[in-house]
Structure formats: C-alpha cells, structure tokens
Structure 1
Amino acid sequence: MHEHLSTRSRPTLTHHSPLWSWSLPEVITPSPLAEVDLPLPLRSLLQRRGIRTVEAAEHLLDPPDLPDPEQEFPDLATAAARLARACRGGESLAICGDYDADGMTSTALLIRALRPLGADAVAAIPSRMDDGYGLNTGMVERLQAQGIRLLVTVDNGVAAVAALEKAIELDVEVIVTDHHTIPAQRPPMAALIHPATTPESSPYRGLAGVGLAYVLAEAVASRLKRPEAVATARDLFCIGTVADMAPLTGANRRWLRDGLRQLHRSRCEGLQALQRLSGLGDRPLRSDDIGFQIAPRINAVGRLGEPSLVVDLLTVEDPEAAMALARRCDDYNRQRRDLCNAIEAEAVALVEADRGTVPPFLLLAQGHWHHGVIGIVAARLVERYHRPAALLAGEGDGRLRASVRAPSGFAVDAALNSCSDLLERFGGHPAAGGFTVAAEQVHPLQERLNSLAEDWLSRQGQGIPIRPDALLSLEQVNWDLWSALQRLEPFGIGHETPLFWSRDCRVTESRTMNGGHLALKLSQGSAERRAVAWRWSDQRSVPSRCDVAFRINLNRWQGEQRLQLDVKALRPHSDSITLCRGTNRYTAARNGEGLTLSNDQGRSIEARVPAEEPLNCRDPLAQNRQVLHLLEEASLALGLRP
C-alpha cells in the first residue's frame, strides 16, 4: 500500500477520498531556534510560521511594550479631548454600536468608562431585523431630537455617508471609531479612530472595534486622571476581540494575553454571570472559553433579539439582575443553536438530494430561514464541503437576503463584485459577505457563481485541505507538551491553534456520541490517547490503522482534567510512500531510524535521519540536490522529522 507525494515544493500527500487533501509542512533542519525553551515540534512549528530568530520567538512568548497610542492615531488626541470636555460638563452623548459581539462589547465598554467620568452616555444600537447595519439618518434624527449633540460610533460609521452628512446638517458632532474599509472620499466627522490611520508597522493595525473603544476609553481616563474608570475595559476588550476573530498579533496579542489572566475575576457582574452559566468556574480563562462559551451567548442576542439586552447585561451593577439578564442571553443561545441545527439539516438535505453531486458553489434558498443565523450555517457548510456557500432567506417583495462564507483562497468580495449586475445590494470581505437579490435573478446568479467557484476548485483541488504544523507521537501528547503550548497562547486568527499529525495509530475503540460526534481510543506503541471527532459525517469511515490530524485540548469532566485529541482528519496508514518527479517515480520506506529510497530501476540508497541535524547518507547520489530534496521530503512524510 503506497501514498503518493507530489512534486510541489511543499510535499503534498493526497488521500484519494474526496474528503481531505493532506499537505505536509516544509522540512526544518537545522533549527535556528535551538536556544528557545520549547519542545522540538513547537520550535519547528514556529519556524514554519515565519518566526526564524530567537528574538522573534521571545516577542511571541513575551510581547513587548506598546507605543503611546496618541503617537499612532492622528485623531486620538482630538477625540479624547472632546470626550473629556463632555465628561467634565455632564453632557448627554450616544454610543452608536453594531449588533454583533464586537459592537455590543464596544458600546458597553465606553458606557462603563464614560459614565463614571461624568458623561450621560446612552446606547444606540440598530436592530438587525428592522434597521440593518450601522449608523443611519433615522438614528441621527431621533438622537438629535432627544437633545444629544455628540455621537461616538463603535465598530461602524466610517462609510455612513448619508448619516454623517445629516449629523452636520443637524449640528451633531460625530467621533467615528471603526475598522471597516475607509471610503476613497472620507465623509465629514469630528475625529476618526481607525487602524488604517496608524503607521503601516503599528502594533495597533489589527484592532477590532472593541480595541479602538479601549484605546479611546484609556485616553479619556488618562486625560482626566481617573484610571479606575476603565477597570473593566480590558475584560470587555478580551471578549470582543476573540468574538470578532481579530488577528492575535501586536496590541491584540499583548492585551489579550495579559487580560485573560484576570478575566475570571472581572468586576463586570454581567461577565461573571455569563461565566457561571457557562460552567467555566473560578479559573483563568483561555481564548477558547470565550470563543465557544461566552461569545455565542452574546452573539445570539444580536442575531435573534435586541442588542440592548447585552449592553444592559454588561453595564448592570447588581449581581441578581446580571444573572437574570444572562439567563435571557442563554435562552437566546439555545434558540439560536436549535435554529442553526434545523436549517443545517435542511441545507444538507438540499445539497445531497442531487445524488451526491456537490456543486462548486452552494447557493441554497428557503423563504422561512432566519436572517440572523444563516451566516453560521453557511460557515458550517463551508467546513463540511469545502465549497463557498450562500444561504438565502426571504425578505419580502420578491427579494432574498443572503449570507456568504468561503474557504481560504476564494475571495467573496471579488466574486460578488463580479455579479454586481445581478444584485441589488452587496458587500463583504474575502472570507464573508452578504447580498440582496431579486428572486428572478437567483438562477443566473447561481450559474455565474458556480463558474467562478469551478475555476477556483480547478486551481486548488477538490479535497478539504489538511495542513499539519508538526508531527507528534502519541507519547509526546503529555502534560509537559501542554504546558509548553500554554506559553504560545492565546491562539486565534493570525496565530492559529496548532494542528498536529501522528502516523500509524491504531483505533482500539470507536463509538458514536449524541450530536453526531465520534469518540475514539487511539494507540501507538505503548501510548494510548482518547480522541473526539466533532460533527463527524457518517460517510467518513474510520480505518483501523490510520494517520491522524488533530488539535490538543483539555477535557474537564466532573472535576477531572485530561488531555484529548480533537480529530480533524483521518486517512488509512501506509508503510511506504511514492514520490513523483515528472515521469520518474520513487518509493520510500522507513528503515529503523532512517529510510530507504528506491527508483523505478531498482536502485536504492539509505539515509539516517537525526531529529535536528542534516540527514546522514554516504551514498554519492545524495550529493545531488534533487536526490537530497527527495530524501528530506520522504523523511518528513515517513515521520522521521517533527
């Protein structure tokens, strides 16, 4: 039994099932990070991610101090001075947020900061169903009629041209904090706090809306010499940053790393209530705790209810009131989960009704689907089928509104722009977007999107890509490795949770769990580890002897903790591999701590493969660069390199 290794510079092993296409990482030897106090697989992982000096590794493990934000954001001093004046004078002002977790936490952050400083700050968040996204002219008119002359937008506003012009007309000042694309013609505003206005190398470039709100709140409190006013601001920053999947680099990484250590002791009663409802206990939190437990409970409200509920929860001071509000968020989250599962089941049935033929672009429409959750289901379909997906729900008047998600490499914004003549409204970025379309245009839209996706699939291949960071034996999955992994946290966008792989594991137990998950027990030599394959499709058979791609997680159950493998992919194990170079084919197999490489003519050479040193081969053929490269690729594919 053989596996085939392609001729790409990065060796690609393809499991011939249509489900996964494995791409193994580049060979790392010798390592320039030998002095870094991490296990070899983690040092190899860092080098593969572009961290190639000891200094860069140390900056990741212990992020450096940040520069003064007022030196990085051109309008920050102006905005902070105006808000400080509003606080001193007890002015009424509105925080105009968005209805996602980033926008709601940003709104709560500024209200919690500005009220103790003297401002009469109120929240003004549009309804997803009734108002749509962001600041609009109706909001400006209503707030002005209430006597408010100062607005601060968070996570929106930079492109709200009509609303900003209406504000000028009504003598309302607007400070915009936003991280979405700045229009070519900047609308009028009193000040703009935006990552793109900082220097290109600035550590503040990756801030989400809540990060910008945090910068602004700190600047105002500093001017008024009241640092205690922003005591909970870092906590809300952590929640919004993880929930918005902001890149965990620069300032985000520094603040999140520091903030997570204290988040479980937050003085925000609403966060404490959410932690208790989530069963997180009194322990330091990880970014996964936010992403899988806290953020969904916040996001569900913006999708199905009124965002003011979350702002009330995150600003309330009474613990009993906080718990009551948190339970309402929890109810919305259960409703969201049920809706998503029902819509996903319908969507999968629609996809697979066509006798197993999956189109290049999944465009599915049902009038009764809920606008607030179709984006979540679209993302699930992308994960399941590795296809771009758009789910459309009825909007009335013969129109449908869609949420679009796509795998890495397929640009949603470019695809929608290519279909602009068929759409009434659209927008987005490379990974996600949305549009409104007339019902009669759905069929031509699907044809065009299928054509675009087919071109993309022909270039990148049909299988779901699996790209492990490093090889681990099951024996290496232990508490020492877990402790080392904690030093690399927090993980997220821009610094992903490591994906490992292990060769030749035997499946000694396999059982289906409620919810369609698969519980496994894997053994390798004398080592045995428990594993779970989440949301495992029935069509994926489990070979008794396999290679496994997995992430390492901590399973807490009834007061006990144990390490668990979260399985991402399996493939049947092969004792040997085939490497192709044009018309030439080579076979490689392990030979103890080395390997044997043979060509079609029966000529073989042997090599020893030390873990962190160049491979050792006395055969003169190994002096040939192409042969040496073949040996290195084979050593990685056969599990002789981490």
Structure 2
Amino acid sequence: MKYQKWNIGAPREEDVAALREAGYPYLMAVVLAVRGIASPETAAEFLDRDRKLTLSPMLMKDMDKAVARIQRAIASGETIAVFGDYDVDGITSTVLLMDYLKSCGAKCLRYIPRRIEDGYGLSKPAIQGLRDQGATLMITVDCGITGNEEVDFAASLGMDVVVTDHHECKEELPRAAAVVDPHRPDCPYPFKFLAGCGVALKLVLALGGENREDALFARYCTLAAIGTVADVMRMEGENRAIVSCGLEALPHTDFVGIHALLREAGLAGKPVTSIQIGFVLSPRINAAGRMGAADLAADLLETGDPARAEELARELCELNRERQAVEQAICADAVEQIETLRQEERSALVLSSEEWHQGVVGIVASRLSEKYSCPSFMIHLKDGTGRGSCRSYGGFNLFTALESCADLLDGFGGHELAAGFTIPEENIAAFRARMNRCVRSVTGGEPPVSSLEVDAAVASPGELTLEQAEQLEQMEPYGAGNPRPVFALLGATAEAVQPVGQGKHLKLRLSKGVSRFDAIFFSVTAEECGIAPGSRVDAAFYLQANTFRGNTTLQLQLVDVRPSLLPSRNEAEALALVRRLTEENGALSPQEALRLRASRSQYAACWVALEKRLRQGKAEEDRLPYLRVLAARMGGSESFLRSALALEVFRERGLISLSRQGDRLVMSLIPVQGKVDLAACPYLLRLQEKEAT
C-alpha cells in the first residue's frame, strides 16, 4: 500500500442523475459531480475548450514598454539576447521567443544557464559574456523576477533588460526597462497562472499585433503547451486553451524536432494527451537541463534539419536513461538519510550530500514529497555551499517559507510549489530546524499522512468499459486543478499477480462479480505490493485504453492497492454475530455460540500473530486486514469469525487498545504484569451460558 489514507469522494446521487439525464456518460457524470460541477450548464462550460486566447496581452503591466523596447531594437538592428532557464518551461520559452525574433530579422543570441556551473537564474558572468558579444538588449524568459542585482549590473554595462517571468515576486522589482509578470502586485491581468512559456507567448502575440494573433498562436501553441504541462500549471482558463490547442496542433507542428522526439519516444502516429506530455516528452526534454546539456534540447526544438533532429532526439533519450539511473541512486541514498532523522525533523525533509548530482535532486525531491507526504528540500554541496531544490506537498507555500528563512540563505527563487535556493553549508542545520517548525505551524503539528484523492468508488463494475474510458477524454487536458480521474474498485479479488518488465512492474487480473479486468501497476514489485493471488483487495486506478498488436482493450492503471476494507458477505455476517455477542443484551442461539467457540491453542496462535504484527510497527490498519491475517493463523472453518472475537477478548482483557482516528484503526499493545485469564472474559462466559442452554 503506497498511501496510508484514501479520501474517496461521494457525489450526490441527484447531481449524477441530472448530468446523466443531460446526456453525460456515467463515469464522467460521477467525476464532474464529485468535483462540484453539478449542473449540465456548468458541465458544458467546464468542458468547452476555447480555440484562441481571449485576453489581450496588453492587459499585462509593462507589456507596452516591453513591446516598444523590443520593436526599437529590431528596427535599429541591435543584438538581442534571450536569457532562459534550463527546465522544460524555460527551454520552450527560449525557443519560442528566439524563433519569433529571427522571423523578424533580428540578430539574436541565446543563453540557457548550465544548471551545475551557473545555477538558477541570472548571473553576472553570463550577462558580461552576452554584452561582450554585442548584446544591447536582454530579454529574460521564465526567470529574472528576483534578479535585481543582476539587472542593475546589466544596466551598468549599457544593456537594457526586459524581464518576462511567471514566478513569485519579491517586494522590490528589478529596475528593468520592463517587468512583465502576472504575479506583480500591480498587474491587472486577470489570469495569474500562466507558465513562463505562456508569458513568452503573450509577448510574441503583443509584438505581432492583433492582426497576427491567430497565426502566431497556431505556430507556437504546441511549444507553449509542452512547457505549461511540464511546469504543472493550473489547468484552467488560458492554460486549458493553450494545452488543448497545442495538443491538437502537435501532429502538424512546423517544429521538426518535436516530430523527431515523438518518434524516438515511441509516440509517432499515436494520440498524444497531457499524460504523454507530462510523463514521456517532458522528462526527455528536462533530462538535458538536469544533466547539464540544456542547449541540446533547445537545439533539437530549434533545428529545421530532420536528420540533425533525429540525431539530437537520440542523444536526448540517452541522457534521459542516464538521468533515471542517477535518480534511482540518489533516491536510495536519501531514503537512508531519512531513516536517521529524528521525528521532529520529518515534517520537512532537509537532506544534503556532496555526492548527489545537482541536476537531479529536484526530481528526487518530488519523489520524496509524494512518498513521505511532506515538503522536501534536497541540497547538493560543493566547496561549503549548498544548491537546493525543493518541492511542496499539500499546498504548502514554499516561496513564503523560503522568505521566512531568507537570513539563512544566499538566495532563492521559484513559486509556491517548486523553488530553488543557495545556502551556506553551516546554515543547513538551522534551516532544517526552522523549516520543520514552519511546516508544523501550518499543519498544526500533526504527523504527515500520505493521502490519495479518489474521485469515487465504482459501485457497478459493469460501468467500467472501454467506451466509458474513451468518453472521459473529453475532460482533457489534465493537470493541476483538473487531475486525471482516479476511481476505486472495492472488495475485488486478485485472481492473478504476475511480474513483468524484468520484475519492475506488476500485471494483475482483478475480478468483482462477473466482471474481469486487466490491471498494470508500474514501478511496483510483487514484494512491495504484498498482494497474493486470491487476496481480497481494494484497487485505486486510472482508466485507460491499451493497444497491443492492433487490439485495443480496457486496462486499469493502478495507483494503489490495499487489503480490502470492504467486508465480504461472510465477513460482514461474522462481524455482526460478534457484535451481538459483545453487546449486553445480545442474543445468540446455541448453534451460533458453538460457531464462536475456539480452543486455547487457537487463541494462543492468534495472540502470537497479533503481537508480532504490532511489534513490526503495523499499528494503523483497518480491522479487516488484521483479522484476515489472524484467521490464517487460527485455522479452521470459522477462523475469521473466531479471530474477530479473539480481538474483542484481547481488548476487554486489557492486552491491546483500539481507537478510531478518522477512517483508521490505531491498535497498540498494553504492557501487563503476569498472566491474563482469558477465560474470565465476560464474552467467553456468555458463550458458555449459551452453549449450556
């Protein structure tokens, strides 16, 4: 089980009925209703995809100044430098703006920092180098909003700067010729969630003018879509329009490098959704920046030579494989470090090492935040200085938290969900302590619990069909604010569990009633899964169409699987019988009392199994998984029934404590002195009385 807690939504039946009556398919109606889109009118509005961007780019503060300065530079033949970032958003932003400027006949220079050598954001040596090459105007994309000192340095060299960014602003903005960022406190632009490439796209549309907006949007929406998905922007408003149109235009894009990457990634000729962008294309582009070769990805997207594009795409995919190996090694090392942390140091994971690859620590931070349900801060150390990458969890605002620790840092930048920072090595311990206090003050000091958000449990397995899965695609594009729907199948049977992909993944066959489903659980081994054939399980999953050798079938892509918390009919009857016995006035027949009767050796076997499980730290589970394990130890035809009674006897005798916390049962051993007489338990005495009658 990957998640300690499943939050399963329960839509109102009347909302689902209203949507179905309006013609919406069952599963889509369920998801829309549980997400608060409860009427046919709001559903139609949500599902509608704009074909263009309706907000004028000139609504952005300083956009007029940016356009005027850039047009003057183009007209007078100045050398313009585009300064980007090394992630997917930064690379696509850079390529987008460079392509437009070149189409205008401008003389351009491109600069993307090397993650390891240069670090994040603007740097004085880079600016000096661009000035030495003749640049008199520098335009930043996806960076620069916190580069006050560097912008002043550029001005001292006689270089104007236009800042375009989408990250959070500090109190004082850079003294640039123009600062275009929707997050400026004085920016009236109504949509605040554009990615860096979204802001760059808006700049290009402003430069081209109203008459060219449609043509420019058609050319650049695919680049902007890739950057927007990769940067995990909220999938609403203009972002939804950018990504929808970008995905639709993808097969026909003029950028030959994108086609080459699709072929190398095995996606050529296949439908590409936001899921493929996020999990297939983006990691390959990102790998270049992470491994210190961001220019390789930019070269791929810029080139017009198909042969060169094929070569660069192969290099990019090889870099991604190298990145995956490095990531696995760092993750294993980080987990070892976490095991040494005190409990008060686990609200925010602050980890550091000189051995880690600086370019990969950010993606490991994402993995750790998901695994441990808390913000993670991964720091690469070199020569007494740490360069850190951090990822949020549960909506914790990283930018605000880093601001509160500014006195311990040399610098920081980013936004509420992902950020970077530099820190002197000697300040890391103090930073760890303060950040943990900061997280606890937000969470109320509660220990982190990994939670899975499930849209709904499917009551009728027959509704899980290929047609329903395909109809759900109308909810695309998925992303922050519109996550891919997760469903749950409760009380299913795992008929088969088979390792695949050299043991890296699991293939399962699940059944419930007369329905049978093929399922795949990626990056989980049989040992980690802990599910054996014949087990009764709850499965959480995405629905997907799986095409193999030309045949398309329905497949459940598992997100998590756990021992079922839904009792079978026999289990429910057994629990009801025990409940009747333990109630003061519970009435049992002699035959029922006989079914509950167990031998002393069976109680002993049950106790040994229970004690072992609790001492292994498995103290927070629902009662059913415990009872199934104990029943296997107790043996006999009524083993589940008798193990349920045994648990109540152990509790009544003061051997264990049971308390309900939300939807979880917290169980613990109670230290006792001497022997405990189980036979004196009033439940067992009551049984004897029933048998005697």
Alignment of 1:60-75 (within 5 A): 60-64=46-50, 66-75=53-62
Check whether the contact 2:34–2:456 (CA below 8 A) recurs between aligned residues: no
**Aligned pair partner of 1:281 in 257, 268, 275:** 268
Instruction: Name the structure 2 match of 1:22.
Output: 6
CA shift, 1:326, in A, is 1.5
- Distance in 1 (alpha carbons) for counterparts of 2:360 and 2:149: 28
**Aligned pair partner of 2:467 in 477, 480, 484:** 480
Check whether the contact 1:97–1:107 (CA below 8 A) recurs between aligned residues: yes
Question: Are 1:566 and 2:550 counterparts?
Answer: no
Question: Are 1:386 and 2:373 counterparts?
Answer: yes
Counterpart secondary structure, 2:116: coil
Instruction: Name the structure 2 match of 1:167.
Output: 154
CA shift, 1:368, in A, is 1.1
CA shift, 1:111, in A, is 1.2
CA shift, 1:465, in A, is 0.8
Check whether the contact 2:27–2:463 (CA below 8 A) recurs between aligned residues: no
CA shift, 1:415, in A, is 4.4
Higher deviation after alignment, 337-346 or 462-471: 462-471
Check whether the contact 2:292–2:359 (CA below 8 A) recurs between aligned residues: no
Deviations 1:307-366 (A, max 9, x none): 222221111111001111222212211111110012122223444578999944433333
Structure-2 change in CA distance of 1:180 and 1:26 (3 Å) = same
Amino acid at match of 2:456: A
Check whether the contact 1:425–1:436 (CA below 8 A) recurs between aligned residues: yes
Deviations 1:394-421 (A, max 9, x none): 211x333332224214443454455555
CA shift, 1:263, in A, is 0.2
Structure-2 change in CA distance of 1:482 and 1:119 (3 Å) = same
Higher deviation after alignment, 485-494 or 136-145: 136-145
Instruction: Name the structure 2 match of 1:93.
Output: 80
Deviations 1:552-599 (A, max 9, x none): 23334444433321222223324559xxxxxxxxxx979xxxxxx999
- Distance in 1 (alpha carbons) for counterparts of 2:321 and 2:2: 34
Structure-2 change in CA distance of 1:601 and 1:422 (3 Å) = farther
CA shift, 1:459, in A, is 5.3
Instruction: Name the structure 1 match of 2:686.
Output: none
Question: Are 1:552 and 2:543 counterparts?
Answer: yes
Amino acid at match of 2:483: E
Check whether the contact 2:60–2:188 (CA below 8 A) recurs between aligned residues: no
Aligned residues: 572
- Distance in 2 (alpha carbons) for counterparts of 1:431 and 1:235: 24
Structure-2 change in CA distance of 1:166 and 1:104 (3 Å) = same
- Distance in 1 (alpha carbons) for counterparts of 2:187 and 2:583: 53
Alignment of 1:248-263 (within 5 A): 248-263=235-250
**If the length of structure 2 is used for normalisation, what is the TM-score?**
0.75
- Distance in 1 (alpha carbons) for counterparts of 2:45 and 2:150: 42
**Aligned pair partner of 1:362 in 349, 365, 387:** 349
Check whether the contact 1:305–1:332 (CA below 8 A) recurs between aligned residues: no
Alignment of 1:195-210 (within 5 A): 195-196=182-183, 204-210=191-197
CA shift, 1:86, in A, is 3.7
Check whether the contact 1:123–1:308 (CA below 8 A) recurs between aligned residues: no
CA shift, 1:456, in A, is 6.2
**If the length of structure 1 is used for normalisation, what is the TM-score?**
0.80
Counterpart secondary structure, 2:103: coil
- Distance in 2 (alpha carbons) for counterparts of 1:366 and 1:225: 51
Check whether the contact 2:369–2:376 (CA below 8 A) recurs between aligned residues: yes
Amino acid at match of 1:563: L
**Aligned pair partner of 1:41 in 27, 30, 46:** 27
CA shift, 1:497, in A, is 0.5
Instruction: Name the structure 1 match of 2:660.
Output: none
Check whether the contact 1:72–1:198 (CA below 8 A) recurs between aligned residues: no
CA shift, 1:51, in A, is 2.3
Check whether the contact 2:79–2:135 (CA below 8 A) recurs between aligned residues: yes
CA shift, 1:233, in A, is 1.1
Check whether the contact 2:116–2:292 (CA below 8 A) recurs between aligned residues: no
Instruction: Name the structure 1 match of 2:398.
Output: 412
Check whether the contact 1:84–1:224 (CA below 8 A) recurs between aligned residues: no
Structure-2 change in CA distance of 1:278 and 1:36 (3 Å) = farther
CA shift, 1:99, in A, is 1.0
Instruction: Name the structure 1 match of 2:128.
Output: 141
Alignment of 1:77-476 (within 5 A): 77-196=64-183, 204-222=191-209, 232-352=219-339, 359-396=346-383, 398-451=384-437, 462-472=448-458, 473-476=460-463
- Distance in 1 (alpha carbons) for counterparts of 2:456 and 2:6: 13
Counterpart secondary structure, 2:379: strand
- Distance in 1 (alpha carbons) for counterparts of 2:204 and 2:511: 53
Check whether the contact 1:84–1:223 (CA below 8 A) recurs between aligned residues: no
Unaligned runs of 5+ in 2: 574-578, 587-662, 665-693
RMSD: 3.4
- Distance in 1 (alpha carbons) for counterparts of 2:503 and 2:421: 32
Check whether the contact 2:8–2:457 (CA below 8 A) recurs between aligned residues: no
- Distance in 1 (alpha carbons) for counterparts of 2:24 and 2:584: 43
Deviations 1:161-191 (A, max 9, x none): 1222233333322222111122322222222
Amino acid at match of 1:566: Q
- Distance in 1 (alpha carbons) for counterparts of 2:35 and 2:186: 24
Counterpart secondary structure, 1:213: helix
Counterpart secondary structure, 1:104: helix
Higher deviation after alignment, 107-116 or 415-424: 415-424
- Distance in 1 (alpha carbons) for counterparts of 2:55 and 2:342: 60
- Distance in 1 (alpha carbons) for counterparts of 2:92 and 2:380: 28
Amino acid at match of 2:391: R
Question: Are 1:531 and 2:519 counterparts?
Answer: yes
Structure-2 change in CA distance of 1:491 and 1:227 (3 Å) = closer
Higher relative strand content: 1
Structure-2 change in CA distance of 1:364 and 1:183 (3 Å) = closer
- Distance in 2 (alpha carbons) for counterparts of 1:266 and 1:73: 28
Highest Rg: 1 or 2?
A: 2
Counterpart secondary structure, 2:326: helix
Higher deviation after alignment, 53-62 or 90-99: 53-62
CA shift, 1:20, in A, is 1.5
Amino acid at match of 2:287: A
Q: Which of structures 1 and 2 has the larger relative contact order (alpha carbons within 8 angstroms, sep 6+)?
A: 1
Check whether the contact 1:87–1:118 (CA below 8 A) recurs between aligned residues: yes
- Distance in 2 (alpha carbons) for counterparts of 1:296 and 1:69: 32
Deviations 1:108-142 (A, max 9, x none): 01111121221122212222122222223333332
Check whether the contact 2:11–2:33 (CA below 8 A) recurs between aligned residues: no
Check whether the contact 1:502–1:547 (CA below 8 A) recurs between aligned residues: yes
- Distance in 1 (alpha carbons) for counterparts of 2:83 and 2:29: 45
- Distance in 2 (alpha carbons) for counterparts of 1:487 and 1:415: 38
- Distance in 2 (alpha carbons) for counterparts of 1:253 and 1:199: 25
Question: Are 1:58 and 2:47 counterparts?
Answer: no
Structure-2 change in CA distance of 1:515 and 1:159 (3 Å) = farther
Check whether the contact 1:352–1:358 (CA below 8 A) recurs between aligned residues: no
Instruction: Name the structure 2 match of 1:582.
Output: none
- Distance in 2 (alpha carbons) for counterparts of 1:75 and 1:418: 29
Amino acid at match of 1:529: F
After TM superposition, which residue ranges in structure 1, 4 or more long, deviate above 6 angstroms? Answer: 198-201, 353-358, 455-458, 597-603
Identity %, equivalent residues: 34
Counterpart secondary structure, 1:195: coil
Deviations 1:418-452 (A, max 9, x none): 55554444455443334444444444544444555
- Distance in 2 (alpha carbons) for counterparts of 1:479 and 1:555: 9
Structure-2 change in CA distance of 1:157 and 1:201 (3 Å) = closer
Amino acid at match of 1:155: D
Deviations 1:517-562 (A, max 9, x none): 2221101112111112222263442261112111123334444433
